[in-house]
Amino acid sequence: MHDSQSQEWLCNRIVAGIGDAVMYSDRQGTIRYWNAAAEKMFGYSATEALGQSLDLIIPENLRGRHWEGYYRVMESGSSRYSIDLLSAPALRKDGTRLSTEFSMALIRDDEGGMLGVAAVIRDVSARWQRERELKERIRVLEARP
């Protein structure tokens, strides 16, 4: 096996086995890669998700803003969000919401043209709920005479 082949094999194994959801969407926002952790997190099998719009996991009230930004990134080839960790609500197959944090990578062809976006997504719903409960406890304690 050539060194580049072994690196590709290793990368495929890492992405397939990592505990965070890993997905890739093309310039049109169509899901083209969906790992096992994405299946578990969102409830859609790869067969169900592949070929579908990102609307599959974007809450309806956030879609307009999402697509405006997505297409702007595809046209400009840059995003301030490709550096920062992002937070956003997402949807599961059963319609329930989850809180997510994710990082993005802008994927380009050999000439530098935009191909799409890869994202590594983590469900932080439990942490978000704990923080919300702590804030409420603090509010109650501060309100006491």
Q: Is 9 left (phi over 0), alpha (psi -120 to 50) or beta?
A: alpha
What are the chain's domains? 20-143 (3.30.450.20)
Mean pLDDT of the chain: 89
Q: Which two tokens stand for residue 58?
A: 């974007």
Percent over 90 (pLDDT), the chain? 64
DSSP of 55-92: GGTS-GGGHHHHHHHHHHHHHHS--GGGTS-EEEEEE-
- Per residue in 98-114, pLDDT tens? 999 999 999 999 999 99
Please say if the pLDDT value at position 2 is more than 70. Answer: no
User: What is the rounded CA–CA span in Å between residue 91 and residue 59?
Assistant: 6
- Please state the pTM of the whole predicted model: 0.81
Strand (E) or helix (H) holding 97: strand 97-108
pLDDT band at 81 (very low <50, low <70, confident <90, very high): low
Higher local confidence (pLDDT), 140 or 37: 37
- Per residue in 34-69, pLDDT tens? 999 999 999 999 999 999 999 999 999 999 999 999
β-pair partners for 99: 89
Could you report how far apart the first and last alpha carbons of the chain are, in Å?
72
pLDDT band at 27 (very low <50, low <70, confident <90, very high): very high
